[in-house]
A = this chain, B = another copy of it.
């Protein structure tokens, strides 16, 4: 082949497109039933929008360029900066809490790896304008509702929930200075991904005192909230407050019916500096893949982008790891495309009646096709089967044969009767079949 796709991008042939649509349609459906409304921004933004939240190093992972007007533009690697920009621009007219979701296509100038591509889709769900932990619960519940809708059970996936303020408290108690906090958090975030020795090195390099490391790990490994409190040695009112929030969160999630999926886990830190409260990541239960989703509370978001101090919380779920997981677990539904009916020329030639019927059925909302070739009825029936049609409508001079291609059952209808209202006839037949 002379032309190839760029590495890390995907060609969505119809089968793969149906799978992508299944994921994005499910995201949209679940978002809507949880009271979120959809937004989107441009793919192209000014480059400096992306360095605000994630620092300058993100710029090296961006597709960016200078346009003919000399402006530095970038293809979005995430939607959150756009969300902040858009919400800030209308912050005084939007009723709060703002419950928005999006399914942006995102771009990263990285080397592709398993579950990590240069072009991908990501479901983003955010609540802005609420400080209440109920808003965090709403986001997590929505993620769990989606997993359930995709038939992933608590045996397949788990939401691990940590707390940024408690992690910061543990690091402070261990002697980490606030100026070194960001680096220390980034080191802790890597702990589950590297061997203990490598982690000890990382921690030392990040300014975590060696003598404090054991206690910090005890905090991270605490099995429940009382063990968390113990590891923090009480810790004062702020710690108690944060523990109270985690308690409420778990209570809300259990109350809504999502408790089975959720587990407290102080090893969840999240890499980015900007989280300010509860943080979480969703993993496959076997923990063999990258995170399916991640999120948390980031109350400084709007301020970072020049807006007011307003609470914000949300998560992102990418399509790449989710697709791998659903495939591994055998949870992908049958997505083969089909037709409601295939109109067959039972005589020969291409009588006007065939075209007329095709046109009327399509305009009436019945997915209809016919053979582009003039060929024998048997060959047309074969094509109908190959196209996954549910019914064949065989047009003859005096009658129309309506044949169920699954059961083989056929009803012959006088052609004048059928032509009176073919849409109503076929809609009736299809509805009856659905009811069975």
The answer on a CB contact under 8 Å between A337 and B37 is yes
Task: Determine which of B3, B49, B386 lies in contact with A49 in the assembled complex, contact meaning CB atoms within 8 Å.
Answer: B3
- A85: Cβ under 8 A from any B Cβ: yes
| Complex Cα spacing A109 to B14, Å | 29
A352 within 8 A of B: yes
Q: Nearest residue in B to A65 (C-beta to C-beta)?
A: B65
Given contacts A255-B355, A306-B3, contact A39 B65 (CB under 8 A): no
Taking a contact as CB atoms under 8 Å apart, the answer to whether B9 and A44 are in contact is yes
A207 CB to nearest chain B CB (Å): 31
Contact with B along A331-345 (1 / 0, CB 8 A): 000000101100000
Q: Is the CB of B63 within 8 A of A362?
A: no
- Pairwise interchain contact B130-A90, C-beta atoms closer than 8 A: no
Tell me if A387 is interfacial: C-beta within 8 Å of chain B.
Answer: yes
For residue A375, CB closer than 8 A to chain B, the reply is: no
Contacts of A141 in B (CB 8 A): 359, 362
B258 touches A359 (CB 8 A): yes
| CB closest residue in chain B, given A32 | B367
| A223 adjacent to chain B (CB < 8 Å) | no
CA gap between A1 and B11 in the complex, in Å: 39
Chain A residues touching B, range: 35 or more
Q: How far is the CB of A78 from chain B (nearest CB, A)?
A: 15
A305 to chain B: closest residue by CB? B3
| Complex Cα gap A88–B3 (Å) | 9
Contact with B along A289-310 (1 / 0, CB 8 A): 0000000000000000110000
**From residue A29, how far is it (CB to closest CB) to chain B in Å?**
8
- B255, A356: Cβ atoms closer than 8 Å: yes
Given contacts A132-B372, A257-B363, list 13 more A-B pairs with CB under 8 A.
A3-B46, A3-B306, A6-B42, A11-B42, A18-B38, A20-B40, A21-B38, A34-B362, A34-B369, A43-B43, A44-B63, A95-B386, A105-B105
23 contacts between A and B (CB under 8 A): A1-B85, A3-B46, A3-B48, A3-B49, A3-B88, A6-B46, A6-B71, A9-B44, A11-B82, A12-B40, A14-B39, A14-B100, A17-B39, A33-B362, A65-B65, A99-B369, A105-B105, A134-B350, A255-B359, A256-B355, A256-B356, A257-B359, A258-B359
Q: Which residues of A are interface residues toward B (Cβ below 8 A)? A: 1-6, 9-14, 17-18, 20-21, 29, 32-35, 37-46, 48-49, 63-65, 67-68, 71, 73, 75, 81-82, 85-86, 88-90, 95, 97, 99-100, 105, 107, 109, 118-119, 130, 132, 134-135, 138, 141, 145, 148-149, 252, 255-258, 305-306, 337, 339-340, 350, 352, 355-356, 358-360, 362-363, 365-369, 372, 386-387
